[in-house]
Structure 1
Amino acid sequence: MSASLLSLRGVRKTYPGPGRGAAPKVVLDGVDLDVTEHECVVLIGASGSGKSTLLRVIDLLEEVDDGQVLLDGVDVADPWVDANAARARMAMVFQQYNLFPHLRVLDNVTLALRLVHGRGRAEAAASGLAMLEKVGLAHKARAYPDELSGGEQQRAAIARALVGAPELLLLDEVTSALDPELVGEVLDLLVALRDEGTTMVVATHEMGFAREVADEVVFLHDGQVHERGTPAQVLDDPQRERTRDFLRRLR
C-alpha cells in the first residue's frame, strides 16, 4: 500500500463560544484522515459538519488546537515548520471564485506564479496559457472576470490553483455558487483531473460526482468522521444511522 501524502491524526479545532463565558464551539473533534498520492477523497455532510474547516486546516489557513497535519510525514501544523513552504505544495479552490476583477483572466492565473514562485512574466504567461487551454478557457485569456460566466470563472480559479503544479488540490463546494446549468462543466473538469491522477480532497454536496470520482467517501457529522469507505459502501449501503438520515434528506 502506498504511503499517505496527507495524514491527519486527532485533529481538533474549536472556536470561541457566542457569548462571554460560553463554552467553545467544537468544529473538528479528533479527525483522522489519510490521502494517498493520485487518490480523490470526497467529504460529504450537512452544512456545519466541519468540511470547510477541515480543508482550511489542511491548507494551514486555520491553526489546529490539537492533533497533527502530516504532509509526507512532516507535521506542517507544527509552529516551527515553514507554513509558506508547506502551503506552496498545496492549492485550494473556494466556493467563491475570488478572482481579482481588475485583472485579466491570464493575469489572475499567473499572479501567484510571478509573486510567490518567482517566475518571469513571459514564462508565467506561457504556463498560464497552457493551463487555460487545459480547462478550455484559452480564448478568454484577455477577458476580465465579469465577462465570464460563473462556470468559466470557477474553471479559471481551478486553473489558477493548478498552474503552480501543487501536489495536493483542495476543493471546497466549488459548484455551490453556480447556477444548475453551469455545474456540469466544472464537474466534468474535476472528473478529467481525477482521471489524470490529480490528488484531491473535495468537499461537495453533489452525490453523483462523489459516486463517479471518489476513491473514498468520508461522511462528517458534528466534526467527526462517522463513516468512510468506497462510494458503493457509503452511498449505497451506509452502516450508520446518521449517514442514512443524511442521504435520505438529500434524496
Structure 2
Amino acid sequence: MTGSAPPLLEVRGLRKTYGDRVVLDGLDLAVDTHEVVCLIGASGSGKSTLLRCVNLLESVDDGRVLLDGREVTDPTVDPRDVRRDIGVVFQAYNLFPHLTALDNCTLAPVRVHGVPRSEAVDRARGLLDRFGLAAQADVHPDRLSGGQQQRVALVRALCTQPRLLLLDEITAALDPELVGDVLELVRAEAEAGMTMLLATHEMAFAREVASRVAYLHQGRVLEIGPPAQVLGDPTEEATRRFLRRVLPERPPGAPA
C-alpha cells in the first residue's frame, strides 16, 4: 500500500466455496485510494470471484469486505448502496440491447443516483466523445463493434463517478487489434487517479499501469508487490512457474 491513510478497499480472510470447491481461501488484500492493483493468476485462481464478491454480486462464506472502513459484507447493508460507489466492467459487455449507447450510459445515474437527466446526458456525451464514441451515442449495441461495445461499457461504469472501478479481463473477448485501444483508455483513467482493481492476462499492461501486482494462487494472494518485482523477479516458485507459461521470455531471477 502507499501512504498512511486507510485503504479504500480492504478484504480480510475472504472465503468462497461452490459445493466442495474452494475458490477463495482466506484471501487478504487492500487497495489504497488512487492505486491500481492488477490481479494475475491462472484460470480458477479466484480473480473473477474476488471481484464479484467485492461488488456483492456473490455472497461470501466467511471473511469481510470493507469499503472506506465500512463493512459492506454485513448482512444489514443494502448492496445497492454499495454499488453506488463501485463501477464494474466484465468480459461480456452486458449492454442493454434495446437502449442506445447514450441511454445505456445514463440509465444508472438517473435511476440509481438521482442525477437530473440533462446532467447525466451531458456527462455521458462528454465521456463518449473522450472515448471516441461521439458518433455512436444514438446507436444500439448490435450496430457496434466489440471494441466499441467494450468502450461503451467503460463509459457506462464511469458515468456513475465511482470511487472504485473493477475490471474483469475486459480485453479477453476482443480481437487482438482492438485490445490496445481499450487498454489505452484504462491507462488514461489510471493516470487520472481512478482507483482500480482489475484482473488481466495482459502482463505488459500490468507492468506499465499497476501500482502493485497481486498473484493469486489457489484462492489466496500468494505474492504482491511492485510490477518490476512480481513480474521481473518473483520470490515464489508458483509465481515463477506461472510467468514462464505466460511470458514470452523467462523472467529474471527465475531458475532455468
TM range (shorter): over 0.9
| Partner Cα distance (1:124, 1:215) in 2 | 31
Deviations 1:93-152 (A, max 9, x none): 000101112211101111111211123332221121112122221121011112221111
Distance in 1 separating the partners of 2:146 and 2:80: 30
Pick one of 129, 134, 137 that aligns with 2:133. Answer: 137
1:9 aligns with 2:12: yes
* Residue correspondences, number: 244
User: What TM-score results when the alignment is normalised by the length of structure 1?
Assistant: 0.95
Of 110-119 and 29-38, deviating more is: 110-119
Q: Which whole-Å CA distance do the structure 2 matches of 1:135 and 1:79 have between them?
A: 38
Letter in 2 for 1:8: V
Out of 76-85 and 213-222, give the one that drifted further.
Answer: 76-85
Runs of 4+ with >3 A deviation: none
Cα distance in structure 2, aligned partners of 1:184 and 1:151: 10
Q: Map 1:155-194 to 2 at 5 A.
A: 155-194=151-190
The Cα offsets for residues 144-187 of structure 1, whole Å up to 9 and x where unpaired, read as 11222111110100000000100000000000000000000000
CA RMSD of aligned residues (A): 0.9
Q: Percent identity?
A: 60
Task: Give structure 2 stretches of 5+ with no counterpart.
Answer: 248-256
What is the rounded CA distance, in whole Å, between the counterparts of 1:6 and 1:46 in structure 2?
A: 23
Is 1:103 the counterpart of 2:99? The answer is yes
Q: Paired residue for 2:43?
A: 47
2:5 alignment partner AA: S
Alpha-carbon separation, structure 1, partners of 2:44 and 2:8: 27
Q: Are residues 1:72 and 2:68 paired?
A: yes
Q: Which range moves more in the overlay, 162-171 or 136-145?
A: 136-145
What SS is found at the alignment partner of 2:10? strand
Using the alignment, how far apart are the partners of 2:204 and 2:211 within structure 1? 13
